Amino acid sequence: MQAQITLSIKQVHEFLLHVATSRPVFIWGPPGVGKSALVEQFAQQLGLECVTLLGSQLAPEDLIGIPQIDQGVSRFYPPSMIVHEREFVLFIDELNIASQEIQKAFYSLILDKRLGEYRLPAGSIIIGAGNRAHDAALAKQMPSALVNRMVHVHLKASPREWLEWAEAAGIHPWILDYVRSRPTQLVTEVPPAKEEPFSTPRSWHTVSDALHAFGDNIAAGYLDALLFGCLTRDHVIGFKAFLKQIRNKFSVHKILKGEESWPAAPEDRDLAYFLAQSLRDTLIKELPEREAGLGRDSRELSNAAKLALKSLARIDGELAQLVLTENDAGDRVPDWFVLDIAKELPRLLQQRANHEQK
């Protein structure tokens, strides 16, 4: 299902409070974005038990029960995990991965809160969730009749909200600082290769738990195994450069102040790459869209950035040009800054090329 409107976790939580109490809701979202945790928190706020069923692991008898003879007639007795004396939240995860037979079995449950002769206690809430078809997560197309029985909402990851949660949850400070500087790397699109790790809030949480267990002196081999086993490859490279920056006390702000030079050693190119990205993000955030809006601080930043870029161009012209390109979110430094510095970069790049030829 294509997303028309996407909502953050807090927005979906508020949506559930107003809609799910009267109508079944289906939450769409990529793997690892926090759908299950969201529903559990919603149930806790209402003071209700949350019973989770995995559609991908259900057989028809798990829902409708097994027939038994009762006073000369056969009756289906529902499973104990669904039978409750008081209202509860029934969370059907991976519903769109379930077989067609299972999805059909949910018709009466979702529409009438009924399984055979058993009815859920009054006030019970039904919420479904699943990954999108393009997430390469074995999702199947749901029958139109089932789709029409639910209200559909699409969940997106919000770096700001995740950071608020992560600080309270004790996520490792390295990860907090990295996501603050690279919020677009909290989550990435599912890669075409189904067996390739990719970054999600869940995978960053996994990395955090392991870093806490290993300690800050984690060996390089274990760090590589952990990061490449959990995150998108480009994010691994960026995170490792970030750690090198911390350990070697490099800072883009010190470079702008003239207190440090760009790392020039070939083995430090990943660090220079990360610092160039950091400079780009700083300029995007701090410089006004129009040159007429420059104040004293932003003018000083602009002048310092031009000097820093000239210095970087003498070391690595490709990285200097990177600062002027779009970031992962599609943002770039203001056009007036690009036009101003672009006049000098070609000359600097040519000087560097001539120097290398000698």
The overall pTM is greater than 0.85? no
Tell me how crowded residue 91 is: count the other CB atoms within 10 A of its CB.
Answer: 24
Cα 302 from chain centroid (whole Å): 32
Average pLDDT (334-339) is 88
Is 32 or 133 the better-scoring residue by pLDDT? 32
Which residue ranges make up each domain of the chain? 6-156, 160-357
Q: What pLDDT is recorded for position 351? A: 52
Q: What pLDDT is recorded for position 71? A: 77
Span of 38-52, 78-92, 161-175 with lowest mean pLDDT = 78-92
Q: What pLDDT is recorded for position 36? A: 92
pLDDT tops 60 at residue 355: no
Q: What pLDDT is recorded for position 232? A: 93
3-state helix, strand, coil in the chain (%, to 5): 55, 10, 35
* 317: Cβ contacts below 8 Å, ≥ 6 apart: 345, 348, 349, 352
Please state the three-class secondary structure of 128-154 as a single string.
Answer: EEECCHHHCCCCCCCCHHHHCCCEEEE
Euclidean distance between CA atoms 285 and 334, whole angstroms: 10
Average pLDDT (4-12) is 90
Nearest to residue 238, comparing CAs of 206, 261, 212, 204? 204
Three-state secondary-structure class, residue 303: helix
Nearest to residue 142, comparing CAs of 191, 180, 92? 92
The single-letter code of the amino acid at 11 is Q
Cα 321 from chain centroid (whole Å): 28
User: In this predicted model, what pLDDT tens digit does every residue of 140-158 receive, in sequence order?
Assistant: 677 787 888 899 999 998 9
**What is the domain class of 6-156 according to CATH?**
alpha beta
- Dihedral of the CA atoms 130, 135, 136, 142 (nearest 10)? 40
